[in-house]
Amino acid sequence: MAISRTNLIDRKANVRDSRLYIIATEGEVTEKQYFEMFKHPRVKVHVLPTQADHKSAPAHLISRLSDFKETYDIAKNDQLWLVFDVDHRKQKELDTVCRLATQKRFQLSISNPCFELWLLLHKADAIPSAGKCGEIEAQLRALMGQYNKTNIDLSQFEPGINDAIRRAKQLDTNRQSRWPADTGTHLYKLVESLIQFTSGGKTSA
């Protein structure tokens, strides 16, 4: 028998009016820390990060989400998301993963080249022309004085969430694409959904 989803929701919350966001991430630490910002009585964000076995390929993320969905009685309005990077992956792998995720009704939030681009968009309009992860992290350090992906300072990013959404949308020149073909990130889709659900309206982005 599946475990009741109420076990994951704050006891003070109205269970029927609450939504679970289950997020399988490629990273072990950074993404999980970032999503700790989104705390609200109507929302429970449950992150399934890559574990010490380092099985971070998108296919493993799909397996983790599938296992979770089979374990808990997920409600119709709950959302299950895949968060990973294009990085060095070939188009064939991306096509396969996106097709399988769609079949399972998992939602996609993919960054090209990496999650740090999403963080950078909280701070600046300009991004490195080459769009390489190392350059993006270097720009984050230059803007913030320091950047440690194992211990990110949430206070540095929370004020810029709507700016990040706006900038990511500007980079997303093909809204129908399942992942950014050029430098960009679809994390705005996940974050905007979180904000809209908790605010009952649109973001200011």
**How do the pLDDT tens digits run along the chain, 205 residues long?**
678 877 777 655 555 668 899 999 988 889 999 999 998 888 889 999 777 666 778 888 999 999 999 999 888 899 999 999 997 788 888 999 999 999 999 999 999 999 999 999 999 987 877 678 999 999 999 999 999 999 999 999 999 999 999 999 999 998 889 999 899 999 999 999 999 887 754 444 4
One-character DSSP codes across 6-17:
GGGS-TTS-GGG
Orientation of helix 91-103 relative to helix 58-71, angle to 10° = 10
| Angstrom distances, CA of residue 205 to CA of 36, 122, 161, 189, 201 | 21, 12, 9, 12, 12
Instruction: Enter the tokens of residue 2.
Output: 């599946």
Segments of the chain assigned E as strands = 19-25, 43-48, 79-85, 107-112, 184-185
DSSP state of 3: B
Query: Given phi > 0 = left and psi -120 to 50 = alpha, else beta, which region is 200?
Result: left
User: What is the C-alpha separation between 200 and 174, in angstroms, rounded?
Assistant: 27
Express each pLDDT in 122-180 by its tens digit: 999 878 776 789 999 999 999 999 999 999 999 999 999 999 999 999 999 988 899 99
- Under 8 Å between Cβ of 145 and 153: no
The pLDDT mean for the chain works out to 87
- Under 8 Å between Cβ of 10 and 25: no
* Bridge partner list, 23: 47, 81
